Amino acid sequence: MIKHTITLKLKSVRFEPLTLEDIKFFTKETGWTFEEEDWKKYFGISNVYPVKIMLTDSDRIEGVIVYEEKYDINGLFILWMESASHNRSYKGSGKREFDYISENLLAYVCKKSKHLNYNFVALQSKGNPVLDNFYLKLGFKRFPFNRYMGIEDASLKKLISIYYN
């Protein structure tokens, strides 16, 4: 569930594979940081999964995530995650439309991890204190040298139970 920031109503979401047709509209002009050419590299790889989140009653993409099944860590590794521009707020850019996009995307990957009999999801720390604190609050822990963060077992299950509908 995601929350509309004005009405405060919770909205149901669905997750679907991201398609090559979807990414044709991913440009800086349409507000995406990661553009079409950046996304193309993730298609056609057997253990890499680009996914979009949408409201159950809409085809508008609210956010995207791509993760990889990593056999060497016995878990899933998040390669990229991004909310649509209308769900981000920066200084002077106004208020986002929906909250909890990232939390839902992360919970989705955690649920996939459990479904695949893994108990671990990792991501690379970007060295951004705001992002790192966000991940820490969700239950991720730092790895040695602070380059990677991971979530496992109890924290993984908690994230799923809070955000995955």
Instruction: Break the chain down into helix, strand, coil percent, rounded to 5.
Output: 30, 30, 40
Helix (H) or strand (E) holding 38: helix 36-40
Domain of 85: which CATH number? 3.40.630.30
Segment 79-132, tens digit of pLDDT: 999 999 888 875 445 688 999 999 999 999 999 999 999 988 999 877 777 788
Residue ranges making up the domain that contains 91? 2-163
pTM of the predicted protein model:
0.91
**How many domains does the chain contain in total?**
1
